[in-house]
Amino acid sequence: MAKKYFGTDGIRGKVGEYPITADFLLKLGWAAGKVFAEDGDGFVLVGKDTRISGYMFESALEAGLSAAGVDTRMLGPMPTPGIAYLARTLRAKAGIVISASHNPYYDNGIKFFSVDGMKLPDDVEHHIEEYLDMPMTTVESSTLGKVKRIGDADGRYIEFCKSTIPTRLDFKGLKVVVDSAHGATYHIAPHVFAEIGAEVIAMGDEPDGLNINENCGATKPQYLAEKVLQCQADLGVALDGDGDRVIMVDHKGEVVDGDELIYIIAMSRQKSSALSGPVVGTLMSNLGMEHALKRENIELLRAKVGDRYVMELLTSEQGVLGGEGSGHIICLDRTTTGDGIVAALQVLAEMHISGKSLHELKSGMAKYPQVLVNVRTESKVNLDELEGVKTAVAAVEAKLGDRGRVLLRASGTEPLIRVMVEGEDQDQVTSSANELADEVKKAIVA
């Protein structure tokens, strides 16, 4: 059954526009509280990123949870993976994240983690939606939920991050630029890398509620690249607003994306016999990663786009490593969700153990040119019914052979058909993508 409010990654939208409003968040807190209260006593963690609307929404959630008779523990600014970790280790009934991840400050959203640090199952989200459609009530005053703040949350999560690599590794002499995107890791990431011995140059660590993800972080790594070259650093680490994504930059100022980082971690795990199951990417993962892993007898499976689907496939296939080119990397042998800091630490550990630079480690994988063309549509289009498009796709696939691929898919968030072509030759890929986009446009008009 389709969900009314929850998407693939919680509930997200523009602040002030339904459902990202104070009154809806009040009701959501109450509805979630009613569901969590069914399992007995306990408390719910609430954390947020640094966008200005977080103050409003944490108060609304707190009030709703209290009305449902559920205690709340406030974390303040805390990365999404930090909230997942604390929900697990503090045995909370759930962890609630107030964040719109890599989006601008004027967006916000809500996502939930269960006591095991994983996203809530579909049936629990459905149950919350059932309460959202009921009238809101308040428990008797003596049973209202109480609120406390957890003062040592930052330190707990910092220690956890450091524990994901061997303590014998000392990074003294390594110069690292850390870009926290003026987001939830601003008071955590610089400390993590400094406490393992690296010299840290911090940027994106002065949030004002409005500058989250603005010309910084994992979505704009060119600014980190400039800083790495300017400071003659060994590498740079760029996180996004809620800390669940990472993009890195090598000492030459070259961007190292999520696919390349997954490749490096996979090679490291295989070398130490710690890689079990397949590596899981998505339909958009670069073909160069698939071929590089195949050379090492490592299987790549492709999930639908979205970390939720990567996690589902990892779990069903008993894998330990997966993620997306955007930098959302899941190391299930270290934690339960995508974690930018933890993923970066795995790469640093491999640099230390191998004695190789980040530039050298990524050189085993050659990224294939990938061209994406968006075709806007007026209404929903069933690609399977467009015979002319299917014929054109088959022709391009025959031309590319096993050294390229074609992907056409409807966007899940916009009225768009996404046409992606990937292959070894940039000119061939570009012309093929444009040809297919033209075929889609003709078919839609017809």
How far, CA to CA in Å, does 343 sit from each of 69, 323, 347? 38, 10, 7
How far, CA to CA in Å, does 296 sit from each of 26, 365, 404? 51, 11, 19
Query: What is the radius of gyration, based on Cα positions, of the chain?
Result: 23
Beta-strand relationship, 235-239 and 175-179: parallel
Q: Is residue 258 within 8 Å of 245, Cβ to Cβ?
A: yes
Instruction: Enumerate the active-site residues.
Output: 101
- b/e code 406-423 from CB counts within 10 Å (16+ = b): bbbeeeeeeebbbbbbbb
Sheet of strand 246-250, all strands in order from the earlier edge strand to the far edge: 199-203, 175-179, 235-239, 246-250, 255-256
**Can the peptide bond before residue 19 be classed as cis, meaning omega within 30 degrees of 0?**
yes
What is the Cα–Cα distance from 263 to 291, expressed in whole angstroms?
11
